[in-house]
Amino acid sequence: MVTTPSGVFVYLTPDEAMANLSALQRKEAVSQWRQSIKEAFGHKCAYCGCLSDKLTLDHVHPKTRGGQDVSTNVVPACNRCNHSKGSEHWMLWYQRKPYYCEERKNVISKWISSTRFTQLYPIAV
């Protein structure tokens, strides 16, 4: 089992996950990957905590600064947070926000430091 910010997912071995993904078309696999990230956070913005069905995916470490397209570098974000953060370092940006929350900061930190999620969802954005 893998514990995620919103609960528990059944853990598949990397081989099982790849077997499931290989049966899907690339577009379908990417869509499922994106959806799984949003589900892991309970369909809430990782930064402000708003519940939305129109979340984007934000690269915590921006691609323009060398960030990768891996699950541990991507969190769901509302449009407001994603656009506001831009290519800033997430922690410096987040600490200045009025909705800063130590608990959400810890969840994001745990998410980006986990290697299990990269193994579970290895598909690029």
The answer to whether position 122 is within a domain reads no
Confidence of residue 12 (pLDDT cuts 50, 70, 90): low
Residues 77 and 54: beta-carbon distance below 8 Å? no
15: containing domain: 2-115
Instruction: Assess whether pLDDT exceeds 50 at residue 118.
Output: no
The answer to whether position 121 is within a domain reads no
The answer to whether position 98 is within a domain reads yes
Mean pLDDT over each residue of the chain, to the nearest integer? 82
The answer to whether position 37 is within a domain reads yes
The answer to whether position 120 is within a domain reads no
Tokens found for residue 98 = 């009025």
The answer to whether position 125 is within a domain reads no
Instruction: Give the chain's domain count.
Output: 1
Residues 12 and 120: beta-carbon distance below 8 Å? yes
Per-residue model confidence (pLDDT) at position 11: 56
Residues 49 and 100: beta-carbon distance below 8 Å? no
